[in-house]
Structure 1
Amino acid sequence: MSVDADHEATEPDFGAWVASRGPALQRFAYLVTGNNSDAPDLVQDALTRALPRWESLAASGTAEAYVKRSIVNGSISGWRKRRRLVLVEDVEPMATRHEPGPEERDADEAWALVQTLPSNQRAAVVLRFYEDLSFAQIATVLDCAEATARSHVHRALAKLRERLNEGVDNE
């Protein structure tokens, strides 16, 4: 993760903060987008937007929430652009040497279900269960009321429960 050379960090700790939080931000971006190739770009864009505001973000303690919200916004914008495209079905991946066990298959299936959720619900689920944030913290990151954050998580879990029940009924 690099910072544009034309910008000097207004706080000397910006680089240190990026170095320490960068891997977690990459994971967060991947979990929000479900796409390894978009995640680094989203993180870089979010950090580029944070740099000019770094002094006030660092002083107020809102740097992480600001960067995560930028990642979520970027993901939603990208999703809106891509949904207009007609997608060709993915080519079935080549067989790998590793045969996943039942737990890994269950985790993959659960993650595939999470990926079908609307962006804000998916982000809320990731923040709640992967990042282990409180509803107040989720509301800060998603820039919404705490009740809305609760609603996103509740609706997402209801959809996941419904889809899981559909899968059980079909077996």
Structure 2
Amino acid sequence: MDYAEFADSRLPALSRYAVMLTQDPHLAQDLVQETMVRVQLNWRRVARADSPDRYVRRMLTNQYLDWRRGSWLRRVLLRAEPDEALAVPGDHAEATADRDQIWAWLARLPRRQRAALVLRFYEDLPDAEIAEILGCAVGTVRASISRALATLRAQLVEV
């Protein structure tokens, strides 16, 4: 498989994964683009990996974890708070407000915890693969997921 075939086959999945991490489709596109440039520059190494897909997913995750540290990416995200008075029971707006609330809770989690949750529940990966992608021990993955879920539960109780 060459780079073009790999990119054609994996780009949609990598984009979905990046959206789950960044919570912003435009930032996700930037993240995927920058990662794929690095993949292309290092294609020989990527192609020799046991699992090129896992290798690239780890590259994307590391890029995401390091990306937010850069001062050039500090941006103000403007999102209107949903007006509960306008929500009609059973209306799709209520579901959208619920989804937005979940996004807001996820956004408050540390990057590593959010990445662990996305890899577990969105990508449906086992702990060992998550540990490999995040570059940590399996116990650290489990602890991160446990802390993240505890934080989310606490936020749910507050509402």
Coarse TM-score class (shorter-chain normalised): 0.7 to 0.9
Distance 2:144 2:102 in 1: 18
| Runs of 4+ that moved beyond 6 A | none
1:125 correspondence with 2:114: no
**Aligned match for 1:40, one of 2, 13, 29:** 29
**Aligned match for 1:62, one of 25, 29, 51:** 51
Distance 2:79 2:133 in 1: 36
TM-score normalised by length of structure 1:
0.75
Q: What is the CA-CA distance between 1:134 and the residue it aligns to? A: 0.4
Q: Write the deviation string for residues 66-106 of structure 1: whole angstroms up to 9, x where unpaired.
A: 2222222222333223599584x72638x9xxx52544433
TM-score normalised by length of structure 2:
0.80
**Aligned match for 2:7, one of 11, 18, 27:** 18
AA in 1 matched with 2:69: R
Q: In the superposition, relative to structure 1, how do residues 103 and 90 fare at CA in structure 2: closer, same or farther (>3 Å)?
A: closer
1:92 correspondence with 2:66: no
Listed as ranges, the gaps of 5+ residues in structure 1 are 1-11
Q: How many aligned positions are there?
A: 152
Q: In the superposition, relative to structure 1, how do residues 60 and 130 fare at CA in structure 2: closer, same or farther (>3 Å)?
A: same
Listed as ranges, the gaps of 5+ residues in structure 2 are 84-90
Q: Write the deviation string for residues 102-159 of structure 1: whole angstroms up to 9, x where unpaired.
A: 4443333223211211100001100000000000111111111111111111111011
Q: Is the 2:46–2:56 Cα contact (8 Å) retained in structure 1?
A: no
